Structure 1
Amino acid sequence: MLKKERHDFIMRQINLHNRVLTSDLVQLLNVSEDTIRRDLQELVDQGLLFKVHGGALSKSYHSSFDDSTVYARDSKIIIAKKATSLVKDGMVVLTGGGTTILEFVKQLPENLEATFFTLSPLVAVELAKYNNVEVILIGGLFSKNSQITYGGHVINQLSEIKVDLCLMGTSAIHPEEGLTDTDWEINQLKKAMLAASKKSAVLCISEKLDISLRLKVCSIESISYLITELDKNDEALSRYLVKNLNIL
Protein backbone atom coordinates (compact mmCIF):
# COMPACT_ATOMS: atom_id res chain seq x y z
CA MET A 1 0.00 0.00 0.00
CA LEU A 2 1.30 3.45 -0.92
CA LYS A 3 1.99 6.01 1.80
CA LYS A 4 -0.83 8.26 0.56
CA GLU A 5 -3.25 5.33 0.81
CA ARG A 6 -2.06 4.58 4.35
CA HIS A 7 -2.50 8.21 5.35
CA ASP A 8 -6.02 8.30 3.88
CA PHE A 9 -6.90 5.10 5.74
CA ILE A 10 -5.54 6.44 9.04
CA MET A 11 -7.48 9.70 8.68
CA ARG A 12 -10.70 7.83 7.93
CA GLN A 13 -10.24 5.78 11.10
CA ILE A 14 -9.54 8.96 13.06
CA ASN A 15 -12.59 10.70 11.64
CA LEU A 16 -14.88 7.77 12.37
CA HIS A 17 -13.62 6.72 15.78
CA ASN A 18 -11.91 9.90 17.04
CA ARG A 19 -8.81 7.92 17.99
CA VAL A 20 -6.64 5.09 16.69
CA LEU A 21 -4.17 2.74 18.31
CA THR A 22 -0.79 2.10 16.72
CA SER A 23 -1.16 -1.64 17.39
CA ASP A 24 -4.50 -1.75 15.54
CA LEU A 25 -3.08 0.13 12.54
CA VAL A 26 -0.14 -2.28 12.35
CA GLN A 27 -2.58 -5.19 12.01
CA LEU A 28 -5.06 -3.45 9.73
CA LEU A 29 -2.42 -2.16 7.32
CA ASN A 30 -0.02 -5.10 7.68
CA VAL A 31 3.04 -2.87 8.07
CA SER A 32 5.66 -2.40 10.76
CA GLU A 33 5.17 -0.34 13.90
CA ASP A 34 7.96 1.98 12.76
CA THR A 35 6.08 2.66 9.53
CA ILE A 36 2.92 3.59 11.44
CA ARG A 37 4.86 5.82 13.79
CA ARG A 38 6.37 7.67 10.83
CA ASP A 39 2.96 7.98 9.19
CA LEU A 40 1.42 9.40 12.36
CA GLN A 41 4.26 11.87 12.79
CA GLU A 42 3.86 13.08 9.21
CA LEU A 43 0.13 13.60 9.78
CA VAL A 44 0.93 15.48 13.00
CA ASP A 45 3.38 17.68 11.08
CA GLN A 46 0.57 18.46 8.61
CA GLY A 47 -1.64 19.54 11.53
CA LEU A 48 -4.21 16.80 10.88
CA LEU A 49 -4.17 14.97 14.22
CA PHE A 50 -2.65 14.78 17.69
CA LYS A 51 -0.13 12.04 18.40
CA VAL A 52 -0.36 10.48 21.86
CA HIS A 53 1.22 7.51 23.59
CA GLY A 54 0.08 4.39 21.76
CA GLY A 55 -1.74 6.10 18.92
CA ALA A 56 -3.38 9.32 17.78
CA LEU A 57 -6.45 11.49 18.38
CA SER A 58 -8.74 13.55 16.20
CA LYS A 59 -7.81 17.22 16.23
CA SER A 60 -11.43 18.29 16.70
CA TYR A 61 -12.02 15.78 19.48
CA HIS A 62 -9.00 16.75 21.51
CA SER A 63 -9.21 20.52 21.39
CA SER A 64 -11.64 23.12 22.62
CA PHE A 65 -14.68 22.97 20.38
CA ASP A 66 -13.70 24.37 16.99
CA ASP A 67 -16.41 24.08 14.34
CA SER A 68 -13.93 24.30 11.49
CA THR A 69 -12.28 20.98 12.41
CA VAL A 70 -15.39 18.86 13.03
CA TYR A 71 -15.63 15.91 10.66
CA ALA A 72 -18.98 15.57 8.82
CA ARG A 73 -20.35 18.57 10.70
CA ASP A 74 -23.37 19.04 8.41
CA SER A 75 -24.46 15.46 9.09
CA LYS A 76 -23.93 15.93 12.82
CA ILE A 77 -26.09 19.05 12.83
CA ILE A 78 -28.93 17.07 11.20
CA ILE A 79 -28.53 14.38 13.86
CA ALA A 80 -28.44 17.00 16.62
CA LYS A 81 -31.65 18.65 15.47
CA LYS A 82 -33.42 15.28 15.40
CA ALA A 83 -32.17 14.46 18.89
CA THR A 84 -33.51 17.68 20.41
CA SER A 85 -37.05 16.43 19.72
CA LEU A 86 -36.54 13.83 22.47
CA VAL A 87 -35.83 16.39 25.20
CA LYS A 88 -38.77 18.01 26.99
CA ASP A 89 -39.12 20.45 29.85
CA GLY A 90 -38.64 18.83 33.24
CA MET A 91 -36.58 15.91 31.99
CA VAL A 92 -33.39 14.60 33.57
CA VAL A 93 -30.84 13.80 30.84
CA LEU A 94 -27.43 12.11 30.86
CA THR A 95 -24.86 12.71 28.12
CA GLY A 96 -21.46 11.47 27.12
CA GLY A 97 -19.05 13.60 25.13
CA GLY A 98 -17.90 14.03 21.56
CA THR A 99 -18.57 16.40 18.70
CA THR A 100 -22.07 15.12 17.88
CA ILE A 101 -23.21 15.58 21.48
CA LEU A 102 -21.75 19.09 21.46
CA GLU A 103 -23.70 19.88 18.30
CA PHE A 104 -26.82 18.52 20.02
CA VAL A 105 -26.35 20.86 22.97
CA LYS A 106 -26.00 23.83 20.63
CA GLN A 107 -29.38 22.99 19.05
CA LEU A 108 -31.38 22.84 22.29
CA PRO A 109 -34.30 25.29 22.69
CA GLU A 110 -33.14 28.50 24.35
CA ASN A 111 -35.77 28.35 27.12
CA LEU A 112 -35.50 24.63 27.88
CA GLU A 113 -35.97 23.77 31.56
CA ALA A 114 -34.19 20.51 32.34
CA THR A 115 -31.44 18.87 34.38
CA PHE A 116 -28.38 17.48 32.62
CA PHE A 117 -25.81 15.10 34.03
CA THR A 118 -22.71 14.91 31.85
CA LEU A 119 -19.31 13.25 31.86
CA SER A 120 -17.85 15.87 29.53
CA PRO A 121 -16.44 19.21 30.76
CA LEU A 122 -16.82 20.60 27.23
CA VAL A 123 -20.50 19.63 27.17
CA ALA A 124 -20.97 21.13 30.64
CA VAL A 125 -19.56 24.47 29.42
CA GLU A 126 -21.98 24.53 26.48
CA LEU A 127 -24.94 23.57 28.68
CA ALA A 128 -24.07 26.34 31.13
CA LYS A 129 -25.09 28.87 28.46
CA TYR A 130 -28.75 27.94 29.02
CA ASN A 131 -30.31 29.91 31.88
CA ASN A 132 -32.93 27.30 32.81
CA VAL A 133 -30.76 24.20 32.57
CA GLU A 134 -29.19 22.74 35.69
CA VAL A 135 -25.81 21.20 34.88
CA ILE A 136 -24.21 18.45 36.96
CA LEU A 137 -20.73 17.40 35.89
CA ILE A 138 -19.93 13.90 37.12
CA GLY A 139 -16.35 13.97 38.36
CA GLY A 140 -13.63 11.36 38.33
CA LEU A 141 -10.47 10.54 36.45
CA PHE A 142 -10.19 12.54 33.24
CA SER A 143 -9.47 10.74 29.98
CA LYS A 144 -7.12 12.78 27.81
CA ASN A 145 -8.07 10.55 24.89
CA SER A 146 -11.86 10.76 25.12
CA GLN A 147 -12.16 14.11 26.95
CA ILE A 148 -14.60 12.70 29.51
CA THR A 149 -14.44 11.55 33.12
CA TYR A 150 -14.20 7.82 33.76
CA GLY A 151 -13.27 5.17 36.30
CA GLY A 152 -14.83 3.44 39.29
CA HIS A 153 -15.81 6.68 41.02
CA VAL A 154 -17.81 7.79 37.95
CA ILE A 155 -19.49 4.40 37.62
CA ASN A 156 -20.45 4.49 41.31
CA GLN A 157 -22.06 7.90 40.85
CA LEU A 158 -23.95 6.68 37.79
CA SER A 159 -25.30 3.73 39.80
CA GLU A 160 -26.96 6.19 42.19
CA ILE A 161 -29.00 8.10 39.61
CA LYS A 162 -31.89 7.31 37.28
CA VAL A 163 -32.38 9.61 34.31
CA ASP A 164 -35.15 9.88 31.76
CA LEU A 165 -32.86 9.80 28.75
CA CYS A 166 -29.23 9.01 27.99
CA LEU A 167 -27.62 10.44 24.86
CA MET A 168 -24.31 9.04 23.69
CA GLY A 169 -22.16 8.76 20.62
CA THR A 170 -20.60 5.53 19.45
CA SER A 171 -17.47 4.36 17.70
CA ALA A 172 -19.33 1.64 15.82
CA ILE A 173 -22.74 0.02 15.52
CA HIS A 174 -23.73 -3.21 13.80
CA PRO A 175 -27.15 -4.92 13.46
CA GLU A 176 -25.86 -8.20 14.89
CA GLU A 177 -22.93 -7.09 17.05
CA GLY A 178 -24.63 -4.02 18.51
CA LEU A 179 -22.63 -1.11 19.98
CA THR A 180 -18.91 -1.77 20.24
CA ASP A 181 -15.74 0.09 21.19
CA THR A 182 -11.99 -0.42 21.52
CA ASP A 183 -11.41 1.14 24.94
CA TRP A 184 -12.16 -1.04 28.00
CA GLU A 185 -12.74 1.89 30.38
CA ILE A 186 -15.09 3.68 27.98
CA ASN A 187 -16.87 0.40 27.29
CA GLN A 188 -17.62 -0.09 31.00
CA LEU A 189 -18.65 3.54 31.33
CA LYS A 190 -21.20 3.29 28.53
CA LYS A 191 -22.70 0.19 30.13
CA ALA A 192 -23.13 2.11 33.38
CA MET A 193 -24.71 5.03 31.52
CA LEU A 194 -27.26 2.74 29.90
CA ALA A 195 -28.05 1.08 33.23
CA ALA A 196 -28.76 4.50 34.76
CA SER A 197 -31.27 5.45 32.04
CA LYS A 198 -34.92 4.72 31.41
CA LYS A 199 -34.39 5.33 27.68
CA SER A 200 -31.28 5.74 25.55
CA ALA A 201 -30.40 7.37 22.24
CA VAL A 202 -27.32 6.68 20.16
CA LEU A 203 -26.25 9.53 17.87
CA CYS A 204 -23.97 8.53 15.01
CA ILE A 205 -23.17 9.42 11.43
CA SER A 206 -24.08 6.75 8.89
CA GLU A 207 -20.42 5.99 8.16
CA LYS A 208 -20.31 4.22 11.54
CA LEU A 209 -23.10 1.81 10.58
CA ASP A 210 -22.25 -1.85 9.98
CA ILE A 211 -18.91 -1.59 11.83
CA SER A 212 -17.94 -3.92 14.67
CA LEU A 213 -15.03 -3.38 17.07
CA ARG A 214 -13.61 -5.77 19.65
CA LEU A 215 -15.48 -4.77 22.85
CA LYS A 216 -19.26 -5.04 23.06
CA VAL A 217 -21.26 -2.39 24.90
CA CYS A 218 -24.77 -3.72 24.25
CA SER A 219 -27.08 -5.15 21.62
CA ILE A 220 -29.11 -2.79 19.45
CA GLU A 221 -32.25 -4.17 21.12
CA SER A 222 -31.04 -2.45 24.31
CA ILE A 223 -31.21 0.99 22.68
CA SER A 224 -34.38 3.08 22.52
CA TYR A 225 -33.41 5.40 19.64
CA LEU A 226 -30.90 5.32 16.81
CA ILE A 227 -30.35 8.74 15.26
CA THR A 228 -28.40 9.26 12.04
CA GLU A 229 -28.45 11.92 9.33
CA LEU A 230 -30.30 9.52 7.01
CA ASP A 231 -34.03 9.38 6.43
CA LYS A 232 -35.48 6.71 8.71
CA ASN A 233 -36.66 4.76 5.65
CA ASP A 234 -33.23 4.70 4.03
CA GLU A 235 -32.20 1.22 2.86
CA ALA A 236 -28.98 1.47 4.89
CA LEU A 237 -31.09 1.35 8.07
CA SER A 238 -33.29 -1.58 7.08
CA ARG A 239 -31.26 -4.12 9.08
CA TYR A 240 -31.70 -2.01 12.22
CA LEU A 241 -35.48 -2.27 12.23
CA VAL A 242 -35.83 -4.35 15.38
CA LYS A 243 -38.38 -4.45 18.16
CA ASN A 244 -38.26 -1.52 20.61
CA LEU A 245 -35.70 0.44 18.54
CA ASN A 246 -36.99 3.72 17.13
CA ILE A 247 -35.05 5.16 14.20
CA LEU A 248 -35.05 8.94 13.76
Structure 2
Amino acid sequence: MLAQQRQEFILRQVAQNGGVRVSRIVGELGVSDMTVRRDIDVLVAKGLVTKVHGGAIATRGSSAGDGGTGPTTNSYPVLGRAAASLVDDGATIALSAGAAAYAVATELRTTAGLSVVTNSPSVEEALHDPSRDDRTVVLTGGARTANGGLAGPVAIDTLARTHVDVAIISAAAVDIEAGVTTSNLQEAQVERAMIHAARRVVVVADRAAWGTALLTTVSDLSRVDVLVTDAVLSEGARRELGRRSVRVYTVNSPAVIQMPAVAL
Protein backbone atom coordinates (compact mmCIF):
# COMPACT_ATOMS: atom_id res chain seq x y z
CA MET A 1 0.00 0.00 0.00
CA LEU A 2 1.30 3.45 -0.93
CA ALA A 3 1.96 6.09 1.72
CA GLN A 4 -0.88 8.27 0.41
CA GLN A 5 -3.32 5.36 0.72
CA ARG A 6 -2.20 4.66 4.29
CA GLN A 7 -2.58 8.30 5.24
CA GLU A 8 -6.04 8.48 3.70
CA PHE A 9 -7.00 5.40 5.72
CA ILE A 10 -5.72 7.05 8.92
CA LEU A 11 -7.72 10.21 8.15
CA ARG A 12 -10.89 8.18 7.59
CA GLN A 13 -10.44 6.40 10.91
CA VAL A 14 -9.85 9.69 12.73
CA ALA A 15 -12.87 11.31 11.04
CA GLN A 16 -15.13 8.40 11.98
CA ASN A 17 -13.90 7.85 15.54
CA GLY A 18 -12.35 11.12 16.69
CA GLY A 19 -8.98 9.40 17.02
CA VAL A 20 -7.04 6.25 16.25
CA ARG A 21 -4.29 4.21 17.88
CA VAL A 22 -1.06 3.27 16.12
CA SER A 23 -1.53 -0.36 17.14
CA ARG A 24 -4.89 -0.52 15.38
CA ILE A 25 -3.47 0.83 12.11
CA VAL A 26 -0.56 -1.62 12.35
CA GLY A 27 -3.03 -4.48 12.75
CA GLU A 28 -5.40 -3.30 10.04
CA LEU A 29 -2.79 -2.56 7.38
CA GLY A 30 -0.08 -5.04 8.29
CA VAL A 31 2.69 -2.44 8.32
CA SER A 32 5.29 -1.56 10.93
CA ASP A 33 4.80 0.68 13.93
CA MET A 34 7.48 3.02 12.58
CA THR A 35 5.72 3.32 9.21
CA VAL A 36 2.45 4.33 10.84
CA ARG A 37 4.19 6.87 13.07
CA ARG A 38 5.87 8.42 10.03
CA ASP A 39 2.50 8.66 8.28
CA ILE A 40 1.02 10.36 11.34
CA ASP A 41 3.95 12.80 11.42
CA VAL A 42 3.19 13.73 7.79
CA LEU A 43 -0.47 14.35 8.64
CA VAL A 44 0.51 16.40 11.70
CA ALA A 45 2.80 18.56 9.54
CA LYS A 46 -0.14 19.22 7.21
CA GLY A 47 -2.34 20.21 10.15
CA LEU A 48 -4.75 17.34 9.50
CA VAL A 49 -4.37 15.46 12.80
CA THR A 50 -2.88 16.04 16.24
CA LYS A 51 -0.45 13.52 17.69
CA VAL A 52 -1.20 12.09 21.13
CA HIS A 53 0.48 9.32 23.10
CA GLY A 54 -0.04 6.11 21.13
CA GLY A 55 -1.96 7.58 18.21
CA ALA A 56 -3.62 10.63 16.69
CA ILE A 57 -6.81 12.63 17.10
CA ALA A 58 -8.73 15.03 14.91
CA THR A 59 -7.55 18.60 14.57
CA ARG A 60 -10.47 21.01 14.62
CA GLY A 61 -10.69 22.86 11.34
CA SER A 62 -9.20 19.99 9.32
CA SER A 63 -11.12 17.57 7.13
CA ALA A 64 -10.81 15.08 9.99
CA GLY A 65 -12.19 17.41 12.63
CA ASP A 66 -15.65 17.76 14.15
CA GLY A 67 -17.69 19.15 11.33
CA GLY A 68 -14.68 20.78 9.71
CA THR A 69 -15.49 24.18 11.19
CA GLY A 70 -13.64 26.67 13.29
CA PRO A 71 -9.96 27.58 13.48
CA THR A 72 -7.31 24.90 13.70
CA THR A 73 -6.00 24.13 17.17
CA ASN A 74 -3.56 21.54 18.47
CA SER A 75 -4.63 22.02 22.08
CA TYR A 76 -6.49 18.72 22.50
CA PRO A 77 -3.59 16.87 24.16
CA VAL A 78 -3.12 19.51 26.87
CA LEU A 79 -6.88 19.88 27.33
CA GLY A 80 -7.04 16.12 27.73
CA ARG A 81 -4.23 16.16 30.28
CA ALA A 82 -5.94 18.92 32.28
CA ALA A 83 -9.28 17.11 32.35
CA ALA A 84 -7.68 13.76 33.19
CA SER A 85 -5.91 15.32 36.17
CA LEU A 86 -9.34 15.81 37.76
CA VAL A 87 -9.97 12.06 37.85
CA ASP A 88 -8.81 10.22 40.96
CA ASP A 89 -7.65 6.62 41.15
CA GLY A 90 -10.64 4.34 41.61
CA ALA A 91 -13.12 6.77 40.06
CA THR A 92 -16.14 5.83 37.98
CA ILE A 93 -16.57 8.07 34.95
CA ALA A 94 -18.69 8.55 31.86
CA LEU A 95 -16.74 9.75 28.83
CA SER A 96 -18.44 11.05 25.69
CA ALA A 97 -17.37 10.72 22.07
CA GLY A 98 -15.24 13.37 20.36
CA ALA A 99 -11.62 14.32 19.80
CA ALA A 100 -11.26 16.00 23.20
CA ALA A 101 -12.71 12.93 24.93
CA TYR A 102 -10.25 10.70 23.09
CA ALA A 103 -7.42 12.96 24.29
CA VAL A 104 -8.71 12.57 27.86
CA ALA A 105 -8.81 8.80 27.44
CA THR A 106 -5.18 8.64 26.31
CA GLU A 107 -4.19 10.51 29.48
CA LEU A 108 -6.21 8.17 31.71
CA ARG A 109 -4.42 5.00 30.65
CA THR A 110 -2.16 5.06 33.71
CA THR A 111 -4.92 5.92 36.20
CA ALA A 112 -5.51 3.00 38.57
CA GLY A 113 -8.83 1.36 39.34
CA LEU A 114 -10.93 3.14 36.75
CA SER A 115 -14.44 2.16 35.79
CA VAL A 116 -15.47 3.87 32.55
CA VAL A 117 -18.65 3.90 30.50
CA THR A 118 -18.43 5.48 27.05
CA ASN A 119 -20.37 5.69 23.80
CA SER A 120 -17.14 6.02 21.81
CA PRO A 121 -15.49 2.92 20.31
CA SER A 122 -12.21 4.82 19.99
CA VAL A 123 -12.28 5.82 23.67
CA GLU A 124 -13.01 2.21 24.64
CA GLU A 125 -10.11 1.04 22.51
CA ALA A 126 -7.76 3.63 24.02
CA LEU A 127 -8.57 2.51 27.57
CA HIS A 128 -8.93 -1.23 27.03
CA ASP A 129 -5.98 -3.13 28.48
CA PRO A 130 -6.50 -6.88 29.00
CA SER A 131 -3.37 -7.04 31.16
CA ARG A 132 -5.02 -4.91 33.86
CA ASP A 133 -7.54 -6.42 36.24
CA ASP A 134 -8.21 -3.09 38.01
CA ARG A 135 -10.07 -1.48 35.11
CA THR A 136 -13.57 -1.85 33.71
CA VAL A 137 -14.48 -0.23 30.39
CA VAL A 138 -18.10 -0.47 29.22
CA LEU A 139 -19.12 0.48 25.68
CA THR A 140 -22.78 1.49 25.67
CA GLY A 141 -23.73 -0.11 22.39
CA GLY A 142 -26.10 1.54 19.96
CA ALA A 143 -26.06 2.81 16.39
CA ARG A 144 -23.00 4.68 15.17
CA THR A 145 -23.59 8.36 14.36
CA ALA A 146 -21.86 10.47 11.73
CA ASN A 147 -19.45 11.71 14.42
CA GLY A 148 -18.39 8.18 15.35
CA GLY A 149 -20.23 7.94 18.68
CA LEU A 150 -22.89 5.37 19.54
CA ALA A 151 -26.43 6.58 20.18
CA GLY A 152 -30.04 5.45 20.28
CA PRO A 153 -32.19 3.46 22.74
CA VAL A 154 -29.51 0.90 23.59
CA ALA A 155 -27.00 3.58 24.60
CA ILE A 156 -29.61 5.54 26.54
CA ASP A 157 -30.81 2.44 28.39
CA THR A 158 -27.26 1.52 29.40
CA LEU A 159 -26.64 4.99 30.81
CA ALA A 160 -30.01 5.10 32.57
CA ARG A 161 -28.80 2.19 34.73
CA THR A 162 -25.40 3.77 35.39
CA HIS A 163 -24.12 5.88 38.29
CA VAL A 164 -20.75 7.63 37.97
CA ASP A 165 -18.63 10.07 39.93
CA VAL A 166 -17.83 12.29 36.95
CA ALA A 167 -19.14 12.79 33.42
CA ILE A 168 -16.57 14.26 31.03
CA ILE A 169 -18.20 15.81 27.97
CA SER A 170 -16.32 16.81 24.81
CA ALA A 171 -18.28 19.93 23.85
CA ALA A 172 -18.99 20.97 20.29
CA ALA A 173 -20.09 24.43 21.45
CA VAL A 174 -20.44 26.36 24.72
CA ASP A 175 -22.26 29.65 25.24
CA ILE A 176 -23.19 31.52 28.42
CA GLU A 177 -26.88 31.68 27.57
CA ALA A 178 -27.35 28.54 25.45
CA GLY A 179 -25.10 26.33 27.57
CA VAL A 180 -23.43 23.24 26.11
CA THR A 181 -24.85 22.59 22.64
CA THR A 182 -24.37 20.32 19.64
CA SER A 183 -25.73 19.86 16.13
CA ASN A 184 -26.12 16.09 16.60
CA LEU A 185 -29.52 15.35 18.14
CA GLN A 186 -28.73 11.69 18.81
CA GLU A 187 -25.47 12.34 20.61
CA ALA A 188 -27.13 15.14 22.59
CA GLN A 189 -29.48 12.55 24.10
CA VAL A 190 -26.56 10.34 25.09
CA GLU A 191 -24.62 13.21 26.65
CA ARG A 192 -27.71 14.30 28.61
CA ALA A 193 -27.98 10.76 29.95
CA MET A 194 -24.31 10.82 30.98
CA ILE A 195 -24.82 14.10 32.81
CA HIS A 196 -27.94 12.74 34.53
CA ALA A 197 -25.93 9.72 35.72
CA ALA A 198 -23.10 11.81 37.20
CA ARG A 199 -22.49 13.52 40.52
CA ARG A 200 -20.12 16.01 38.86
CA VAL A 201 -19.80 17.25 35.28
CA VAL A 202 -16.61 18.34 33.50
CA VAL A 203 -16.94 19.98 30.07
CA VAL A 204 -13.89 20.15 27.78
CA ALA A 205 -14.13 22.84 25.09
CA ASP A 206 -11.41 24.22 22.87
CA ARG A 207 -11.39 27.89 21.91
CA ALA A 208 -13.27 27.27 18.68
CA ALA A 209 -16.19 25.87 20.67
CA TRP A 210 -16.45 28.84 23.04
CA GLY A 211 -19.06 31.53 22.43
CA THR A 212 -21.08 29.58 19.87
CA ALA A 213 -24.46 27.88 20.02
CA LEU A 214 -25.54 24.93 17.87
CA LEU A 215 -28.87 23.24 17.20
CA THR A 216 -29.74 21.61 20.51
CA THR A 217 -28.82 22.09 24.16
CA VAL A 218 -27.04 19.28 25.96
CA SER A 219 -26.92 21.02 29.33
CA ASP A 220 -27.35 24.39 30.99
CA LEU A 221 -24.14 25.71 32.50
CA SER A 222 -25.72 25.55 35.94
CA ARG A 223 -25.28 21.76 35.77
CA VAL A 224 -21.59 22.03 34.84
CA ASP A 225 -19.05 21.90 37.67
CA VAL A 226 -15.82 22.46 35.74
CA LEU A 227 -15.03 23.95 32.32
CA VAL A 228 -11.63 23.03 30.86
CA THR A 229 -10.77 25.31 27.94
CA ASP A 230 -8.01 27.12 26.07
CA ALA A 231 -10.36 29.99 25.19
CA VAL A 232 -9.50 33.51 26.32
CA LEU A 233 -12.47 34.38 28.50
CA SER A 234 -13.52 37.95 29.18
CA GLU A 235 -14.01 39.14 32.74
CA GLY A 236 -17.73 39.28 32.03
CA ALA A 237 -17.76 35.66 30.92
CA ARG A 238 -15.83 34.60 34.01
CA ARG A 239 -18.28 36.45 36.23
CA GLU A 240 -21.24 34.75 34.55
CA LEU A 241 -19.60 31.35 34.88
CA GLY A 242 -18.84 32.05 38.52
CA ARG A 243 -22.44 33.09 39.09
CA ARG A 244 -23.45 29.66 37.81
CA SER A 245 -20.84 28.02 40.10
CA VAL A 246 -18.73 26.81 37.16
CA ARG A 247 -15.01 26.53 37.96
CA VAL A 248 -12.78 27.33 34.99
CA TYR A 249 -9.49 25.56 34.26
CA THR A 250 -7.73 27.66 31.64
CA VAL A 251 -5.08 26.14 29.40
CA ASN A 252 -3.06 29.10 28.07
CA SER A 253 -0.42 27.03 26.30
CA PRO A 254 0.83 23.45 26.26
CA ALA A 255 3.00 24.34 29.26
CA VAL A 256 0.65 26.52 31.29
CA ILE A 257 -2.53 25.34 32.97
CA GLN A 258 -4.27 27.58 35.49
CA MET A 259 -6.16 25.19 37.71
CA PRO A 260 -7.81 26.36 40.93
CA ALA A 261 -8.22 23.76 43.64
CA VAL A 262 -11.44 21.82 43.24
CA ALA A 263 -12.74 18.61 44.75
CA LEU A 264 -14.55 16.25 42.42
What TM-score, normalized by structure 2, do the two folds share? 0.65
How many residues end up aligned between the 2 structures? 192
User: Match for 1:61 among 15, 18, 38?
Assistant: 15
Match of 2:92 in 1: 92
Answer whether contact 2:224 2:246 (CA < 8 A) is retained: yes
Q: Which residue of 1 aligns with 2:199?
A: 198
In the alignment, is the contact (CA less than 8 A) between 2:92 and 2:166 conserved in 1? yes
In the alignment, is the contact (CA less than 8 A) between 1:76 and 1:229 conserved in 2?
Answer: no
Which consecutive aligned stretches of 4+ in structure 1 deviate over 4 angstroms post-superposition? 233-237
CA distance in 2, matches of 1:59, 1:194: 27
1:35 paired residue number? none
- How far apart are residue 244 of structure 1 and its match? 2.2
Determine which structure has the larger helix proportion and give its number: 1
**Amino acid aligned to 1:150:** A
Provide the C-alpha distance between the structure 2 equivalents of 1:209 and 1:58, rounded to a whole number of angstroms.
Answer: 26
1:149 matched residue in structure 2: 150
Report deviation, 1:141: 1.7
1:237 Cα deviation after fit: 4.8
The alpha carbon displacement at 1:241 in A equals 2.8
Structure 2 residue identity aligned to 1:142: R
Instruction: Report the counterpart of residue 223 of structure 1 in structure 2.
Output: 224
Shift, 1:73, TM fit: 5.7
The residue that corresponds to 1:133 in the other structure is 135
Whole-Å separation in 1 of the counterparts to 2:191 and 2:229: 19
Cα deviation for residue 148 of structure 1 reads 1.4
Question: Quick one: structure 1 residues 210 and 140, their matched pair in 2 at CA, closer, same or farther if it must change by over 3 Å?
Answer: same
Q: Which residue is equivalent to 2:107?
A: 107
Shift of 1:58: 8.4
The answer to whether the 8 A contact 1:203-1:226 is kept is: yes
Q: CA deviation at 1:61?
A: 2.8
Structure 2 vs 1, CA of residues 167 and 58 (structure 1 numbering), >3 Å: closer, same or farther?
farther
Instruction: Give the conservation status (yes or no) of the 8 Å contact 2:90–2:115.
Output: yes
Q: CA deviation at 1:247?
A: 0.9
Amino acid at match of 1:159: A
Q: Deviation per CA, 1:112-137, whole angstroms, max 9, x where unpaired?
A: 22111111111111001483321111
- 1:205-226 deviation line (CA, Å, top 9, x unaligned): 0121110112122211111111
The answer on whether the counterparts of 1:61 and 1:98 sit within 8 Å (CA) in structure 2 is: no
Q: Unaligned regions of 5+ residues in structure 1, if any?
A: 1-46, 49-56
Q: For the aligned residues, what is the CA RMSD? A: 2.6
Task: Report the residue type matching 1:208 in the other structure.
Answer: A
Indicate conservation of the 8 Å contact 1:78/1:229, yes or no. no
Q: Which runs of 5+ in 2 are unaligned?
A: 1-6, 22-39, 50-57, 60-71, 250-264
